[in-house]
Structure 1
C-alpha cells in the first residue's frame, strides 16, 4: 500500500512539474537574428525558413561574410542566398538588387558599381525577426524581405521624390551580376520589359573550397508598371536587353547587370519576387511561381508562414525561466534558431547526380558542427538530422567520399580528420532511423583505409604512416595523395577519435575488424611527450610538464611551442600560417581525447593535476572561446570528478562571451556551432559527440522541458533552490524519475523515454558526481568499448 501511495504521489509531482514547465510567452519574439552581427560573429541576420536555400538580406561593404552586419558599413545591395557564421571569404550573396532614384530621371545619373551606389542605412530602422528583415536606406527607400524555401520576396517602398522640373522621379532597381566577394567568373542576363521579368545565371567560386558552381535566378517585378529596362556595364547603362560578362582582366573586375525603371505606384511599393536555383533559370522561375503566388497578400502571407514554420521547429523546447533576464532567454532561443539556418536543404536542386535521397549543402564545416550542432539537432529535429546523415552517405555513394566540408555544391577544405565519421557514430549510438548502416560503415572504412589523391578536400592524408607508424608524422613522406602537409598533431588526435567512432559502429554491426579501429583509437598516445615543458613568451614556466609534440618519421621528436597558435601567440590557419595544430594550440589539444579522458588524466598526473591544468588553460588567456575545439574543455572537469567546476566554468563564459548583444558571440557562429554550444550549456547538458553521453550541469533556468519529436515523450530538467542571480550553481543531489541519481552524465534515453531529472542546488561544491562509479565512461574503463553501446 505504501509503495502504491508513493507511486501516486510521484505521479502527481510529475504532473505538477509538467504543468509548471510552460513555454515562455511567444518564444519566437525572443529570437534576435542580430546577435553576433558584428565583432566577427558573421551570422546571417536576414529572412529564411528552417534549412532554407533562399536567404535574403541587405549586403554591406564591411563585415559582410553573412551579408549584413551592424558595424555601420554601407549597404551595397540586397541578395538572395547566404551562409551563416562562416569565416574566410564572404559566401554567396549572388545577384544583388539595389533600389534608387536617378537624378532628373536620367539613367546614367544613377549609380551602378558597388562602391558608387553604396549607402548607409538608418541605424534605428533595422528590424530582424525569423522570416523577416527590413531597413531604411538614408535615401528614404525602405526595403523589406521574407522568404520561401527557394524564393526571396522583397518589398521596396519608394518615398515620393521630384526632379528639378517638378516631375515625379521614377524608381529604378538594378540587378548586379556579382556575388559578395566578386568571385564571378562569367554571367549572363536577359530582360523582358513586357512581363517585368529578368533571368540570368553566373559561375562563381565557393568561399572555402575547390572548384566552382553555377547559380540561376528569375526575378519578377510586380505591383508596378515597367517604364524602361536595359543593361549596365561599369558606370553606364543603355536599353540593351541581353548581356554576357566575363570576370575581366587581371585585377580589373568587370561590373555589369540589368535594370528596370517604373512609374511610381501610388503607395510607392515595388515588389520583387526572386526564385533561385542551382539547376536552371527555368527551374528558378518554377520555384518562384510554385512557392509565391502573384497576389497582393503574398508578402504578408509568406512572412506569416515563415513565422509558423519557426514556431513549429522551436516547439519541442519549453522553458520555466525562473525570473532570469529577457537577455538570457533571448540568447537561448536565438542560439537554437541559428542551429537551423544551415545546413541547407537543397533536395531537388542538386545538378551533380540524380537521386531519391535528400541532399543537404552548406556543411560549413563538420569540423565545427560535429561537436554540438548536430547532436543538438538530434534531440530537437531528429528527422532533419537523419536526412542530413543520409545526404552525407548519398554524397559518398556518388562522389566516393564523405564530405568534411561542403558548400555551394563544392568540396570544402578539410580542416582536420574525417569528421563525418563522428556525425555518423553519433547518429548510430542515438538510434537515428532511416539510415543505411551498412553503407555508413562502408563509407567510414573508406575514410580509414583509402587515401584520395586530393585529401585537402576529402578523406584523410598520411594513411600509410598512420597505419605503419601509428601517428601522422611531422614532414610526412606522402606520395599517394596531396594536401597541406601540416597539422600532424591535430590530425593524429582527430584520426584517433574518428577511428573510435568507426569501432563503435563496427562493433554494433557485428563487424570483426572493429578491433583494428579500436586499437588505432589509442594512437594519440604516441605523440605525448611526458617531459615536455611549456613556457610563456616572457620565459615564465607555466609549471606543467607533458604535452603533445610532433614526431618525425624516424621516431625522433620535433618541436612546436605549446602556446603557439593560441590567443597568447599567433593565429594558425590552413595555408597562410600552417602548423602542427589547426586553429588551436597544443595547450588546447591536450584536452582533446574525447573517448578516453581517463587515460589522458592518468598520463598528465591524475585528477588534481588535470584540474590545475584546465584551470590554468581557462584563466591564462590560452583558451580561445571563439573556436570550437575549446567547447569540450569547459566540461572536461567532469572526467576528473569535479562536475561543479564545469558548471562554474560555464558561468565564466556566459554571459561574458555569449550574450544578447550585437557582438554577443566570441567568434564565428560557424553555421550554428556557437549557438548550439550556448543552447546546450543553458539547458544544463553537454554532449560528448559520437558517444551516448551528456554531461550534466544545472540549467541556467528554473526548468527546461524537451519533447522528443518522434517518441513524443517529454524530458524535463528541473532545478530545486534555483537562484536567478546564479549563486546556487552546484548540484548537491539529483533524482531521476524520483530516485536518487549520482552519475554526472546521462544517456540519450533521457530524451527518447521522457525522463525527469531533478537537481537540488547549493552555493558550494558537493560530492555529487565525484565518485569513480559516477564519472562519464572512458575507453580505458572497458577494453571492449563502452558498455551498452
Structure 2
C-alpha cells in the first residue's frame, strides 16, 4: 500500500482528472453561437504598475508555475514594465505584495559560449541578464513564450508538479552548442543553503535549497530535477559566480556571513551539441519532499516530453473550470469581456494544491498552500470559488482544518509550508462560516467549530502569525486598546481600530455556526461580542480635509485601556493623507491599509445599528456617497469592495449599481496596468467577476446583494448538482444607461428583496431584472433590506 501522503496525492489527482475530463464552451456573443472562452483571457493584465499578476503557465490551483523572471518589481516573476530576463523558474505566487515569492532554481539557456570557452558564458544572475523583445510575449492559459535578444525563444507549459520548457535557437551564433544552467537562487534571494549535482552521463541536474517565505516566518526546503531532450550531451559541470568547471559534479552553498545569495550565485549546467531543428526541451520536476519525488513528479506527469500535448491538456483544464459560467454578451465590448474572463481566470491561480507535497505531517486530507492572505481572500476570492468550484473550495477548507489539527490554529496567511503574518482578525473564521452556511460539502464541522472557537478564546504565544492578540482586553474591555497590556503573547501592537471591528465580525461568524449547531450559550456569547465595534465609535469626532470640514460627525477612534480616547485623523491612511502609513510594522498606526473613514463602515452583520449610529438611512447614504466621491477610497485594497454595495442597506440599491459602474471600467481594463491595485492572489479579478455578474456576496453570511449584470444574461452551472442559475436583464442596455432595477422576478414570481441566498445557486432558477434609466422603488423598503442583527428602525 502507498504511504498515506501518496494516497492523498493520488486521491487529489483522481478528483482533478474527474474535473478536467470533458470540455465545453459557455460564452456567447452577437457574432457566434459559441466562442472559445480562453480567447478572452489575457494573463498579462495586471503585470505592470504593481499588479504583481502571475503571467506564466499553470493549471488551475497548480503547484508548478513557469514563467520568465525579469529584473525589477518581479513579485510574480515576470513584469511587463521591465527590460531584462535573468532566468525561467518553475514556482511562483500571483498578486503578492511586499517581497517577491518563490522563483526557485531558475534555468537559463545560452546558444553557445563565445570562442567556445565555457568561462566566457555568462553565469552570475546580473551578468547573464538579457533584454527581452516586447512584441514577442505570448501568454495564454497553460502557455507562455518570450524571445530574448541573445537569440533564444523560450516557451513553457506545466502539469501539476512539473514544468516543460522548449528553447528554440535562431542560429545567429557562429556555432550552436547550447548551455543550460540551473541557479541555486530564488526571487527574493533568500537562500540560506543549497546543493546541486549533475549526472555527467545523462545531463540530469538535481538539487535542493533552503529558503525563506516572502511574508512569514521560518524556512522551507525545495528540491528540483531537470532532464533534457533534443540534443546530444557534450559536457557537464558546475559554476560559481562567473567561473565554470567541467570536472566537478557537485556544488554546495551555505550562508557563512561573508556572502549573501545575491552575491554568491552558483549551480550546475549541461552543454549540448547542436540540436536538430535548433530546438531543445527541458523538463523540470519540483517537490517539497525530496529530489527523488521531484524526478518522479516530472517522469510521471510528462513521460514523453510532449510540449504541445501538455499545452492542450492545460487549456482543456482551464476551459472546464471556466465553462461553469455562461454569458450572453450581445453588444458588450470585447474589452469588458476580457476584463471579466481574465478576472475569473486569475481567481483560480491560487491557493495552490500541494497535496502529497507536505513533509510537515502525514495526512489523508488535502493540503493547499499560498493563502496570500485570508485577510484579502475571504472578501471575494473564496465566495466566488464557492459559486464556481465548490469542490475545490471544499478541499481548501478541509486543508485549513487539517492545518489546525497539526499546528494548533487556523492560519490567516500561509505560504511555502510556513506560517504567514496575520493582518487583522482571525478571518479563517469568516471562511468557515461562509462555507458552513452555503453547504460546502465534505468538511469536518466538529473540528472546524473547535478551531474557530479556539481563535476566539485562546491567545497564541505569537499572534503575529496565528489567532488573535489582546484577547484579555477583548473579553474584559470589549475593544482592543491602543496601549494594550498583553503579557500573554507577543505580536505587533498596532491596528487597534481595524482589529476591533474585525474581531467583532469574526465573533459574529462563530455565532452563526453556533446557532445552526444548537450551541445556544455560544451563540449568545459571540453574538454579544460581535457588538463590540461600537466601543470604538467616538460620536463627536469630526473630519476635515485640507482644513475644510466634511460635514460628517462620528468616527471610529483609538481608545486607551482606561476608556479615554486617543486620536487619529479619520482621513489618515487614505489616498488624501499619508496613504502608506498603515502597514504591518511597529509604527503602523491604528487602522490597517485604510482610514478610519473606511473602517467606520465595517459592521456588515449589524448594518441596522450602524446606520442608526451614523444618523439614519439618508445621512448614511450621504456619508457613503462622500466616501466614493471625495477621493478618500482606494478601490485597490479589498476592504473597499463591500462599501460599493452597502447602499443596499440604506434602501438605495440603485446607487450600488451606479458605483459599480463608476469603478468598472475606470479602474479595470485590458492594459498590463489594468487593475486597481495589487491583485492579491486574484482578489481584484474576483471583484470584477462578482460585480459584473450582479450578485455581490457578503462574506460570512448567506446573503447576495443584487445589482444588474453587465451582460444581457449570466448563468452559472453548479458543478455538483448540474443545476443552472440564471440572472437575466430585461431591457438590457450595453451602453449602461439603464442600470437601475425597476422590478424583479425570481422563478416567475415578483421579488422585491434587494438580496437573495445561496439556495438560488444550489437549486437553480431564474432571476429576471427589468431595467430602466432611473432609480425606482425596487428594493428600497425596510422589509426588502438584507438581514441585520439590529433592526433598521
TM-score range, shorter-chain basis? over 0.9
Specify the alignment match of 1:765 in structure 2: 775
2:239 maps to which residue? Answer: 232
Structure 2 match to 1:96 = 106
Return the alpha-carbon distance in structure 2 between the equivalents of residues 402 and 224 of structure 1.
49
Q: Give the Cα separation in 2 of the matches to 1:264 and 1:509.
A: 69
1:340 aligns with 2:348: yes
Cα displacement (A) at 1:248: 5.3
Identify if the C-alpha distance between structure 1 residues 281 and 369 changes in structure 2 by more than 3 Å, giving closer, same or farther: same
1:677 aligns with 2:687: yes
Residue 117 (structure 1) aligned with residue 128 (structure 2): yes
Q: Aligned residue for 2:413?
A: 405
Confirm or deny that 1:735 pairs with 2:742: no
Residues 426 and 782 of structure 1: CA distance in aligned 2, closer, same or farther (over 3 Å): farther
**How is 1:294-333 mapped onto 2 (pairs within 5 angstroms)?**
294-295=304-305, 298-333=306-341
| Structure 1 CA distance for aligned equivalents of residues 588 and 223 of structure 2 | 36
Pair 1:182–1:248, CA change in 2 (3 A): farther
Q: What is the root-mean-square deviation in Å for CA atoms of aligned residues?
A: 1.6
Match of 2:150 in 1: 139
Q: How far is 1:576 from its partner?
A: 6.3
Q: Which runs of 5+ in 2 are unaligned?
A: 1-25
Q: What is the CA-CA distance between 1:247 and the residue it aligns to? A: 3.3
CA distance in 2 between partners of 1:208 and 1:19 (Å):
41
Q: CA deviation at 1:266?
A: 2.1
Q: How many residues align?
A: 760
Return the offset for 1:670.
0.6
Structure 2 residue 502 is the aligned partner of structure 1 residue 491: no
| Cα distance, 1:712–1:106 mapped onto 2, change above 3 Å | same
* 8 Å CA contact 1:503, 1:515 repeated in 2: yes
Mapped to 2, the partners of 1:663 and 1:62 lie a distance apart of: 15
**Take 2:559 and 2:429, find their aligned partners in 1: how far apart are those partners?**
25
**Any idea what the Cα deviations from partners look like across 1:255-290, whole Å, max 9, x if unmatched?**
111111111212111100000000000000010010
Tell me how far apart the structure 2 counterparts of residues 187 and 310 of structure 1 sit (CA, whole Å): 35
- C-alpha separation between the residues in 2 aligned to 1:35 and 1:598? 39
Q: Paired residue for 2:376, among 368, 373, 380?
A: 368
Matches of 2:322 and 2:485 in 1, distance apart? 50
TM-score by length of 1: 0.95
1:599 aligns with 2:638: no
- The answer on 1:663 being equivalent to 2:653 is no
Q: Does 1:715 align with 2:725?
A: yes
For the pair 1:357 / 2:368, whether they are aligned, the reply is no
Look up the match of 1:551.
559
Deviations 1:631-684 (A, max 9, x none): 000001000000000000011110010111111101111111111010000101
Give the 3-state SS of the residue equivalent to 2:277 in structure 1. coil
Question: Residue 14 of structure 2 aligns with which residue?
Answer: none
Asked if the contact 2:730–2:768 (Cα under 8 Å) also holds between the matched residues in 1, the reply is: yes
What SS is found at the alignment partner of 1:780? coil
**Which is further off, 245-254 or 42-51?**
245-254
Give the structure 2 partner of residue 14 of structure 1.
none
Residue 285 in structure 1 maps to residue 316 in structure 2: no
Q: Which moved more, 1:241-250 or 1:441-450?
A: 241-250
Out of 510, 522, 528, the residue aligned to residue 519 of structure 1 is 528
Distance in 1 between residues matched to 2:685 and 2:640, nearest whole Å: 14
For 2:699, the equivalent position in structure 1 comes to: 689
Equivalent position to 1:158, from 169, 172, 181: 169
Distance 1:698 1:606 in 2: 26
Sort the Cα spacing of 1:169 and 1:20 in 2 relative to 1 into closer, same or farther, 3 A.
closer
Distance between the aligned counterparts of 1:161 and 1:430, measured in 2? 59
Query: 2-side partners of 1:47 and 1:388: how far apart?
Result: 22
Separation (CA, whole Å) in 2 of partners of 1:480 and 1:600: 32
Matches within 5 A, 1:15-30: 25-30=35-40
Higher alpha-carbon deviation: 453-462 or 569-578: 569-578
Q: Structure 1: how far apart are the matches of 2:658 and 2:372? A: 31
Among 612, 615, 621, the alignment partner of 1:611 is 621
1:681-700 Cα offsets, whole Å, 9 max, x none, are 01011000110100011101
Structure 2 match to 1:58:
68
Aligned to 2:391: 383
Residues 73-125 of structure 1: CA deviation (Å, up to 9, x unaligned): 21111000000001000000000011113111111111111111111111110
What is aligned with 1:274?
Answer: 284
Distance 1:19 1:370 in 2: 30
CA distance in structure 1 between the partners assigned to 2:202 and 2:564 by the alignment: 72
Contact in 2 for aligned 1:104/1:169 (Cα 8 Å): no
The change in CA–CA distance for 1:190 and 1:663 in structure 2 (over 3 A counts) is same
1:649 aligned onto 2:656: no
Q: In the alignment, what sits opposite 1:198? A: 205
Once residues 744 and 285 of structure 1 are traced to their aligned partners in structure 2, the CA distance between those partners, rounded to angstroms, is 54
Where 2:422 maps in the other structure, the secondary structure is: coil
1:108 corresponds to: 119
- Any idea what the Cα deviations from partners look like across 1:44-70, whole Å, max 9, x if unmatched? 000000110000000000120010011
Aligned to 2:223: 216
Distance 1:251 1:200, change over 3 A: closer
1:221 offset after TM fit, Å?
1.3
| Unpaired segments ≥5 residues, structure 1 | 1-16, 784-789
The answer to whether the 8 Å contact 2:27/2:329 transfers is no
Partner Cα distance (1:494, 1:433) in 2: 26
Question: Compared with structure 1, are the counterparts of its residues 228 and 488 closer, same or farther at alpha carbon in structure 2 (3 Å cutoff)?
Answer: same
TM-aligned CA deviation for residue 226 of structure 1: 1.3
Distance 1:645 1:676, change over 3 A: same
Which residue, 161, 172, 177 being the options, matches 1:170?
177
With normalisation by structure 2, the TM-score equals 0.94
**Change beyond 3 A, Cα 1:251–1:607:** farther
Q: Give the Å deviation of 1:577.
A: 4.1
Q: What SS does the corresponding residue of 1:735 show, helix, strand or coil?
A: strand
**Partner deviation per Cα, 1:555-595 (whole Å, 9 max, x = no partner):** 00011111111111221110164111111110111111111
Residue 250 of structure 1: how far off its partner (Å): 5.3
Equivalent-residue separation in structure 1 for 2:125 and 2:357 (angstroms): 29
Secondary structure of the equivalent of 1:500? helix
Instruction: Measure the CA separation in 1 of the matches of 2:92 and 2:316.
Output: 22
Output the CA distance in 2 between the equivalents of 1:181 and 1:71.
Answer: 18
Matched, 1:756 2:766: yes
Contact 2:374 2:428 in 1 (8 A): yes
How far is the alpha carbon of 1:365 from its aligned partner? 0.2
Matched, 1:130 2:141: yes
1:635 maps to 645
**Alpha carbons 2:426, 2:506 under 8 Å: kept:** yes
Q: CA deviation at 1:20?
A: 10
Cα distance in structure 2, aligned partners of 1:548 and 1:23:
53
Question: How many angstroms apart in 1 are the aligned matches of 2:721 and 2:224?
Answer: 41
